[in-house]
Amino acid sequence: MSPRERFMRALLLEEPDKVPMFELEVQIAEKIVGKRLITGDEYRRLLREGKAEKLLRHNVEVQVEVCLKLGYDAVRIHAVPDLPEAIRLVRKMAPQLAIIGSADGTLSVPGSYADFAKLIHRMRKERSQLKRELEESIRRNIESAKAQLDAGADAIIGCSDYCTNSGPFLNPRDFEELIAFYLKKLVDAVHKKGGLYIKHTDGNLWPIIDILVSTGIDALHSIDPTAGMDIGEIKEKYGDVLCLCGNIDIGVIHRGSPKEVYEETRACIRKAAYGGGYILCTSNVVERRHPVENVLAMFKARDTYGVYPISRL
């Protein structure tokens, strides 16, 4: 079974040959393939110098090489100036991989107290204007998602965060009106175009998870155990309608031993992989500080315990 087929079967809640793997980001590229992703000031400088094509090709090559070297089944493309063009390049370079594009446009946890205060003011005093802006944001993201799917993306991921570890930043009523309503429009558009939609959000989702599931998302990423998200409980309640992506504690990957990461991965597989509809990944991203041997321990555990048929814990 090809990596792409393995990944797509899991997204469709089916059992592939083994549990697929991907990451939202792999920030240790230099440790894996000896090349680093160009970001930040250097990224902006190359754009100013008219070197967008060179930048795009370099960052695509790095991301694809990392995925192939480690053995991921899908690549989520980011840090490129033109997503559709990058996706077309990936499809030529690595047709065996599933390709994940990006589009969201919904409200996210404000980055500061001042931003939060401003949002609260707008929700109370400028709600109609705020909703018009959200409608336009979703329209732009729908067009972006369509272009990415036309270019060869298999799925789209949205990365707006809705929760902190203590819970959602909006109450359920406001979440439904100001986020879920618009998210559903995007999900419906992706489905109409033949794609699948993965929703990433950090934090404790329990107060809003029913509303989130009702938008029709195909998969939930990254189900953070440090925020009280028990992947076994989510599997029990939503595994028949939702592919689960996660939830290896990045704290264990950062500070733990390879054996501890191995055991953490085994436990996740036992809780969530039975019956299909599970994709193994961290509870956020593979960070620069994560030891390579700990990342490799996830693959080792997957290859040992993640081969189907997998029994329920």
CATH number for position 278: 3.20.20.210
Question: Is residue 287 one of the residues assigned to a domain?
Answer: yes
Could you give phi then psi for residue 306, rounded to 5 degrees? -100, 25
Q: Is the pLDDT confidence value at 87 over 90?
A: yes
Question: Is residue 68 one of the residues assigned to a domain?
Answer: no
Structural domain including 120 reads 3-19+99-305
Looking at residue 313, its pLDDT comes to: 72
Question: Is residue 35 one of the residues assigned to a domain?
Answer: no
Question: What mean pLDDT do residues 147-175 have?
Answer: 98
Strands (E), the chain: 74-76, 98-102, 155-158, 163-164, 167-168, 196-200, 219-222, 243-248, 278-282
Question: What mean pLDDT do residues 228-236 have?
Answer: 97
How many structural domains compose the chain? 1
Provide the percentage of residues in the chain whose pLDDT is more than 90. 99
pLDDT digits (tens, 9 = 90+) for 282-302: 999 999 999 999 999 999 999
Question: Is 78:62 a contact under the CB 8 Å cutoff?
Answer: no
Looking at residue 312, its pLDDT comes to: 84
Question: Is 229:163 a contact under the CB 8 Å cutoff?
Answer: no
Question: Is residue 301 one of the residues assigned to a domain?
Answer: yes
Question: Is residue 145 one of the residues assigned to a domain?
Answer: yes
Question: Is residue 30 one of the residues assigned to a domain?
Answer: no
Question: Is residue 94 one of the residues assigned to a domain?
Answer: no
Does pTM surpass 0.75?
yes
Question: Is residue 93 one of the residues assigned to a domain?
Answer: no
Q: How many residues does the chain have?
A: 313
